[in-house]
């Protein structure tokens, strides 16, 4: 029996991307309306601008609510609706193939050994200076960066294990699922149907992923992370591994903040990372490349063998 003949052809990738953009805008508006209504019912008054100022008693709850709804409305729901519009299950449409423990272990090793070289790139990116005629833009970028940092540090303040677990869910787990479905699943998949060059598709998706965060002094490390997640998805043909890598990256930041507070280290010290000798960064880069290469060979070779055996 030939099932392929009965499959319904997908919409064009251009239509998919336009539809995805419409869903994202509509989803963001709707989830914020729901969020504002929920906060009004909770506090008995309309949200005040001061509530969004770090240090305000209502800041944590309001920020967590709005950030979570943004993840749902801007990323998760649009990606799920795109699959639904194609009359397909999201697990099939986005390739949620069975998990292999050996590939999960390789993902953990990738994230561990890449930390020093990512630290170096982050430090280099933070020292970015624009030409004199762009001074006003640079001041605006720094103001946005300081604002984002103040918000992040406030949200990462955790008094107990309950706060830690909430942050793991809201900062690590939810973004890992929602953003990977949107960027690697929906956008990279659609762009892959438009362009034959897989490297172009992966890096273009990574650029969009980094740019949409609007954090200019962390653009390069986020771009590289986005590309890494893209290659992991492309080689493994399963979204589970990029979700896991994304989760590990975010969960490390939350766990590091928790550790610092448990040991009375100010969170403001979090950007003062340990500097390695030059050869430490070189070793990190080489090991990262080797493990990525091994992951590629392991996932693609074993995948071909599995396909032949079915």
Give tens-digit pLDDT for 187-215: 999 999 999 899 999 999 999 999 998 78
Q: What pLDDT, on a 0 to 100 scale, did the predictor assign at position 271? A: 59
In whole angstroms, give the CA distance from residue 275 to residue 256.
17
The burial of 7, by beta-carbon neighbours within 10 Å (0-12 exposed, 13-18 middle, 19 or more buried), is given as exposed
pLDDT reported for residue 255: 92
Low-confidence ranges of the chain (pLDDT < 50): 1-6, 305-310
Q: How far apart are CA 72 and CA 31, in angstroms?
A: 8
The pLDDT, as a whole number, for residue 296 is 94
CA dist 83 and 270 (Å) reads 39
Q: What is the pLDDT of residue 139?
A: 78
What contacts 24+ positions apart, CB below 8 Å, involve 43-52? none
């Amino acid at each position: 029996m030939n099932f392929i003949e009965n499959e319904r052809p997908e919409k064009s990738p251009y239509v998919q991307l336009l539809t995805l953009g419409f869903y994202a805008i509509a989803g963001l508006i709707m989830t914020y309306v729901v969020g504002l209504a929920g906060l009004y019912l909770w506090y008995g008054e309309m949200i005040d601008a001061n509530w969004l100022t770090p240090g305000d008693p209502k800041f944590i709850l309001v920020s967590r609510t709005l950030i979570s709804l943004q993840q749902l409305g801007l990323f998760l729901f649009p990606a799920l609706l795109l699959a639904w519009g194609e009359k397909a299950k999201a697990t099939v449409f986005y390739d949620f193939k069975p998990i292999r423990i050996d590939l999960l272990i390789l993902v953990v090793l990738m994230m561990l050994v890449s930390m020093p070289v990512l630290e170096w790139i982050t430090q280099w990116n933070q020292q970015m200076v624009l030409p004199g005629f762009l001074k006003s833009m640079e001041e605006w970028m720094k103001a946005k960066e300081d604002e984002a940092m103040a918000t992040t540090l406030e949200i990462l303040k955790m008094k107990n294990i309950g706060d830690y677990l909430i942050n793991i869910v809201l900062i690590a787990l939810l973004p890992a699922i929602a953003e990977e479905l949107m960027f690697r699943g929906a956008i990279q998949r659609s762009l892959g149907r438009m362009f034959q060059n897989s490297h172009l598709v992966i890096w273009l998706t990574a650029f969009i992923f980094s740019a949409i965060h609007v954090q200019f002094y962390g653009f390069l490390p986020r771009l590289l992370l986005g590309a890494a997640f893209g290659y992991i998805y492309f080689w493994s043909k399963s979204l589970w591994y990029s979700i896991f890598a994304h989760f590990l990256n975010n969960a490390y930041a939350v766990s590091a903040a928790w550790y610092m507070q448990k040991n009375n280290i100010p969170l403001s010290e979090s950007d003062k990372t340990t500097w390695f000798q030059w050869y430490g960064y070189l070793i990190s880069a080489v090991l990262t490349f080797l493990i990525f290469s091994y992951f590629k060979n392991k996932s693609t070779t074993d995948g071909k063998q599995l396909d032949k055996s079915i």
